Amino acid sequence: MSAACRRHRALLGPLLLVPVVCAAAATAPDVVARLRELGRASATVSTLRAHFVQEKHVTIVREVLRSSGTSWLDKRGRIAWQIAEPEVMRVVIRKDGMFVAGKRVGAESAGGGGESAMNGKVSPLPMLEGLNGIFAGVSEETARDFDVTFRDGDRLRLVPRSRSLSPWLSAIEITLGGEAQTPRHVRLEEPGGDVTEITFSDVTVNPPLDDAAFVP
């Protein structure tokens, strides 16, 4: 794997997680009720724009890998991350694939001139669905894929139910905020001990976004 690819993986840590839908398991009635309430709030969201700061703590590296920029989300299936620091990079995830710095990445592009993400084992569509699920808010459907525990009214911990997801992710902690109850802080814990934390600020709900916002 090239040095550029390794650097991209560090910057794009949360984008390379692959949530997998699995059979629903029993969830406590009070948890279901709270998820329904949060789902009603997040259902009002069509688009989002926010500033983000991501810090990745890697177990074998003392230095915290920090990146920041602006993110845009369209719940119809489009997400863009404009990374401003430490280096300028644009990431766009749409139904037709994932693009980094204008190049398609993922299994489909491994043999076609694009750079393969995660050694070509990641397909863009599951990533897209997972990002919508995490960054657009939570709902009763969240309990299909995760064991949900509320730390308090606006902070919850998600542990994946699927064995297919557990090699990638140990848990997600989400702090919600605002009238639409969208994520303000996301903590992604990996099995090897690495932790990625993303803080969102200046969140705008339902800004007008045209196609230009999601051009690779």
Assess if residue 126 is contained within a domain: yes
Residue 3 lies in a domain: no
Number of independent structural domains in the chain: 1
DSSP state letters, 14-57? GGG------------HHHHHHHHHHHHHHTT-SEEEEEEEEEEE
Residue 6 has pLDDT above 60, yes or no: no
Q: What is the mean pLDDT of residues 138-144?
A: 89
Query: Closest Cα partner for 123 from 1, 16, 2?
Result: 16
Rounded Cα gap, residues 209 and 80, in angstroms:
11
Band (pLDDT 50/70/90 cuts) for residue 23 is very low
Tokens of residue 82, six digits: 């404009």
Question: Where is pLDDT greater, at 172 or 4?
Answer: 172
pLDDT of residue 133: 61
Q: Which residue has the higher pLDDT, 40 or 23?
A: 40
DSSP states along 81-106: EEEEESS-EEEEEETTEEEETTEEES
Q: Could you tell me the two tokens for 216?
A: 């690779």
**Residue 212 falls within a domain, yes or no?**
no
Tell me the CA distances in angstroms from 36 to 21, 168, 181, one per residue in order.
19, 27, 12
- pLDDT above 80 (res 109): no
Longest CA span, the chain = 50
User: Residue 34 belongs to a domain with what CATH number?
Assistant: 2.50.20.10
The token pair at 41 is: 């709030």
176 inside domain: yes
Residue 145: its pLDDT value, please? 83
Distance, first Cα to last Cα, the chain: 23
Tell me whether residue 15 is in a domain.
no
How far is 144 from 133, CA to CA, in rounded Å?
Answer: 11
Residue 213 domain-assigned (yes or no): no
List pLDDT tens digits, range 56-82.
Answer: 999 888 889 999 999 999 988 889 999
Is residue 114 a part of any domain in this protein? yes
Higher local confidence (pLDDT), 172 or 26 = 172
pLDDT at 136: 82
Q: Is residue 73 part of a domain?
A: yes
Cα(125)–Cα(153) distance, integer angstroms: 31
SS3 at position 4? helix
Average pLDDT score over residue span 45-60: 93
Peptide bond into 86 cis (omega under 30): yes
Whether the per-residue pLDDT at 167 is higher than 60: the answer is yes
Full residue range of the structural domain in which residue 146 is found: 26-204
Is residue 14 within 8 A of residue 186, CB to CB? The reply is yes
To the nearest whole percent, how much of the chain has pLDDT over 70? Answer: 75
Quick check: 118 pLDDT over 50? no
- Over residues 164-169, the mean pLDDT reads 74
CA–CA dist 155, 129 (Å, integer): 22
Closest by CA position to 94, among listed 104, 84, 107:
104
If you average pLDDT over each of 38-52, 94-108, 134-148, 159-173, which comes out highest? 38-52
Mean pLDDT of the chain: 80
Reported pTM:
0.78
